[in-house]
A and B are shown apart, each in its own frame.
Chain A
Amino acid sequence: MRRAYKYAVLAAMIVSTLALALAVSAGGLGYALPFPAVRNLAYWYLKTTYNPFMPKFTVSAPEAVTAIVWDYRGLDTLFETSVFFLAIIASMALMRGIDIRVPESMNLSKYGMSAIVKTVTKITVAIILAASASIALHGQLTPGGGFQGGATAAVAPLVIIVIFSLYFAVGSGIRKKSMLTLRTLGLLGIGVTSFAVIVAGLILGKAAYVFQNQPKEAAPIGLPSHILGVPMGGTLLLFNIFEFLAVAAGFTIVFLLLSVPEESVRKVLEGGEEHD
């Protein structure tokens, strides 16, 4: 009875969607759907993202979305990175006191899945890391960039933790502290890159803005936009590399915290020994 009721509700929803769409489009809407032209703001973004005829307005990156994310709207991305960092810090504070120690007398080769799965995983982890680094590095020329590469690279530590075992991962250097160090290095790199043009301007005696990429009207200094004839986008390449590092390390911390077995947590919650 309950299953027939569920399927009847689903069929009613599909029929009502089709009927609503028919009612809206049968009598004429008064405007065309989808719209035939983009707005003026988007028209200007598309026109100035790689325009050698307007050297004081352009970004010199053929990819419009990466240029908007890191150059036109760079401050939005800076605060979004800090929101992600705050979420990771809050999770680490919630799971404080739980440390993963590997006992010395543990035979690591008995843990994890069978030998066939482990061998295939060794090959696929290398492929995943290479593909994600490639996605992150060409973000200013084709679709790609820092977040995309970082999210893809975060699958590799997850696979290692699930298939080998958590103790193998901790024993071979993927620890909470080392991943937190990598994440902080990535964020420091983003901060240094956003001040790079100002420092260069102070040294050479010219005016500059924070987060500046290319030379503008009143600030005639910027990072090189073409290296050996290939458009590199100035600060976009550096931002992509550091964001890739930060995002991949952040997700690894989350998976390390999630995969702690429940027995060691119960000991800490009942007031056992103090870990750091």
Chain B
Amino acid sequence: MISPETLVFGVLAALGLISMVATFMAVMERDLLKAVLFSAVQSTAYAFMFYILMAPDILLVYVPVAVGLYPAVILFLIKKTERFEGGEEE
């Protein structure tokens, strides 16, 4: 059957592709609220990658910082400035 090594590397490759899709959607999106949510999805994929690559110290820093504090700070920023990129026109 499939050896555990191939399974683990397959999960890593799938996580890499998921993070690439999420990054692309975050950069191309014009509604800034959805862009922040896509970037949080990408941070979750990176957090899983840190766990599988055997780095638990970095995981414990990365989960509160990139999934909790970064989106909170940028949501405060969006509330105080504009929500749509490039104003309200097309």
Residues of A near any B CB (own CB < 8 A): 6, 9-10, 13-14, 17, 65-66, 135, 143-145, 147-148, 151-152, 154-155, 158, 251, 254-255, 258-259, 262
- On chain B, the residues within 8 Å of A262 by CB distance are 80
Neighbour of B64 across the interface among A6, A66, A154, A259, CB < 8 A: A154
Given A6-B28, A143-B56, check contact A151 B73 (CB 8 Å): no
Let me know if B64 and A155 touch, CB within 8 A.
yes
Give the size range of B's interface with the partner.
20 to 34
Q: Which residues of A contact B80 (CB under 8 A)?
A: 262
Taking the closest CB of chain B, its distance from the CB of A95, in whole angstroms, is 12
Q: Using CB atoms, name the residue of chain B closest to A142.
A: B56
Residues of A within 8 A of B20 (CB): 13-14, 17
Return 25 A-B CB contacts under 8 Å, by A number: A6-B28, A9-B24, A10-B24, A10-B25, A13-B20, A14-B17, A14-B20, A17-B20, A65-B57, A66-B57, A143-B57, A143-B59, A144-B57, A145-B57, A147-B61, A148-B61, A151-B61, A152-B64, A154-B64, A155-B64, A155-B68, A158-B72, A254-B73, A255-B72, A259-B76
Q: How far is the CA of A102 from the CA of B72 in the complex (A)?
A: 24
Contacts of A148 in B (CB 8 A): 57, 60-61, 64
| CB of B11 within 8 Å of the partner chain | no
Residue B52 at the A interface, CB < 8 A?
no
| Apart from A147-B61, A155-B69, 5 more pairs, CB < 8 Å | A17-B17, A66-B57, A155-B64, A155-B68, A262-B80
A65 CA to B60 CA, complexed, in Å = 13
Least Cβ–Cβ distance between A37 and chain B, in angstroms? 16
Q: How far is the CA of A19 from the CA of B64 in the complex (A)?
A: 35
Complex contacts, B77 vs chain A, CB 8 Å = 258
Residues of B within 8 A of A17 (CB): 17, 20
* A251 contact set on B, CB distance < 8 A: 69
B65 CB contacts on chain A under 8 angstroms:
151
